Amino acid sequence: MMTERMFTSNAIENPWVRTLDSLKKTGYKFSRNWLSVLGLVMVVIIVFLAVFAPYVAPYPQHAGKFVDFKNKNQPPSWQHLMGTDTIGRDILSRIIFAFRNALLMAIVVLAISVPFGMLTGLTAGYYSGTWFDTVIMRVTDVFISIPPIILALSIAAMLKATLMNAMIAVTVSWWPWYTRITYSLASSIKNEYYVQAAELTGASKIYILFREILPNCSSSLLTKMALDVGWVTLVGAALSFVGLGEQPPKPALGTMIAEGVERMPAQWWIALFPALAIMFVVLGFNLFGDGIRDVLSPEEA
């Protein structure tokens, strides 16, 4: 009640003024916690590197078919900040390109699993207690119990092991979590008085689902999405570690670690830096997700 700035009537009529103020407030809420700001910085770095990889990586050609046996297994130096791998490629450049694949995977997986999971959870939650709810939630239970790696292995066994198939595998095992979370939120929100008021006035079901219930789920969903970018990256790395997903010579964080594991501890940099990169991604998105949650929670009076 006290936190809204008192505008003069005229100023607030201007939509630009409102937008600006709302942005400022978002910025303030976000910056309350320095860790979230740190997370934001990390996320910006990752995204920047991924988008501008060919221009930022010191040796962009190393990300493709490239061998330089003279330079293999070099420890970190000024020419190769993270050293070179077993066939002479610059690890830093490959990591930067690997970010591209990681983010791409995350985006694709989330772009499919979130809407699907959210829709199923929303409708199941609204109709909770009916057969509709039971059917959807039991199907969800089945899918939740499928581990992504086993599924990916099966798909790879049947089809080829490619990035696309890895993404399919992860998506299929990812959407049920969104169903669950939306379901539990929706089934409790539907009992709130403001939803009752909409129903009693005769609003359509679509309206109630998307304009009354869904906005109140947005905080949890968006936070989870931010965190999930990190987790999908981790799962993707696990898949490529065992040889599924993006195939060499295209760089993938998991593959790079797999290649470097045999060389531990002598050529420690080959495995360590990709591992740190994964940690960077997961940590960055986690902290950023915390910030999102703080921004989106409704203001307390």
Partner 1 sequence: MSETLLDIKNLHVWFKVYGGVLKVLNGVNFNVKFGEKVGLVGEAGCGKTTTMKALLRILPNLALIPEGDIFVRGKNILKLSSIELADLRGRGLSMIFQDPTSALNPVFTIGQQLYDIIKYSAGSSGQKVANKKNVALSALHEARLPDPERMLDSYPIQLSGGMRQRVCIAFAIATARDLLIADEPTTNLDVTIQDQVLRLIRDLVEKKGSSLILITHSLGLARETTERVYVMYAGNMIEMADTSLLFKKPLHPYTQGLLASVPRLSGGGFAEGIPGRIPDYRNPPPGCRFAPRCQYAFAPCTKAMPPLIDAGDGHQVACYLYQNGQEDRRNA
Partner 2 sequence: MPDITHTNNNILVAENLVKHFPINLSGIFKKRWIIVKAVDGINFSVKQGECFGLVGESGSGKSTTAYMTVGMYEPTSGSLVFKRENIARPAVKRPMHLKKDIQIVFQDPGSSLNPMRNIQSILEMPLRVHNMIKKGHSIEKKVIDLLDRVELPSHYRFRSPITIGGGERQMVAIARALATDPSFIVLDEPTSALDVSVQGKIINRLIRLQKEFDLTYLFITHDLSLMRNVATKIAIMYLGKIVEIASTNEFFQKPLHPYTQMLLSSIPILFEEEAKLKPNKIHSIGEIPSPVDVPPGCSFNPRCPFKKDICLVEDPVMREIEPGHYARCHNV
Least CB distance to partner 2 at residue 211 (A): 7
6 binds partner 1 (CB under 8 A): yes
Contact residues: partner 2, CB under 8 A: 1, 3-4, 7, 9, 12-13, 18, 192-204, 207, 211-212, 215-216, 218, 298-301
For partner 1, the binding residue among 1, 200, 206, 266 (CB under 8 A) is 1
What's 209's DSSP letter?
A: I
Please count the other Cβ atoms lying within 10 Å of the Cβ belonging to residue 9: 6
Q: Does 200 bind partner 1 (CB under 8 A)?
A: no
Residue 135 interacts with which of partner 2, partner 1, none, CB < 5 to 8 Å by class: none
Distance CA 298, CA 301 (A): 9
Nearest 5°: CA angle at 106, between 284 and 50?
Answer: 65
The answer to the question of residue 210 lying near partner 1 (CB under 8 A) is no
Q: Quickly tell me which residue has 């219930």 as its tokens.
A: 213
Least distance in angstroms from the C-beta of 22 to partner 1: 12
Stretch near partner 1 under the rule CB under 8 A, chosen from 24-32, 48-56, 184-192, 283-291: 24-32
Q: Are 90 and 80 in contact (CB under 8 A)?
A: yes
**Residue 90, beta-bridge partner list:** 84
Looking at beta carbons only, is 282 or 292 nearer to partner 1?
292
Closer by beta carbon to partner 2, 55 or else 131: 131
Minimum CB separation of residue 189 from partner 1 in Å reads: 21
Comparing C-alpha atoms, which of 5, 16, 25 is closest to residue 295? 25
Amino acid at 43: V
The per-residue b/e assignment along 51-60, b for 16 or more CB within 10 angstroms, e otherwise, is eebeeebebb
Rounded distance between C-alpha atoms, residue 54 and residue 97, angstroms: 8
Tokens of 220: 């949890």
**What is the nearest approach in angstroms of partner 2 to the Cβ of residue 2?**
9
The listed partner (partner 2, partner 1, none) that binds 70, CB under 5 to 8 Å by sort, is none
| Nearer Cβ to partner 2 (24/211) | 211
Give the shortest CB-251-to-partner 1 separation in angstroms.
44
User: Does 28 engage in binding with partner 1 (CB under 8 A)?
Assistant: yes
243, 49, 292, 187: CA torsion to nearest 10: -30
Nearest distance in Å: CB 29, partner 1: 7
Residue 5 binds partner 1 (CB under 8 A): yes
Q: What is the C-alpha to C-alpha distance for residues 114 and 47, in angstroms, rounded to an integer?
A: 20
**Residues of the shown chain interacting with partner 1 in the complex, contacts defined by CB under 8 A:** 1-3, 5-6, 25, 28-29
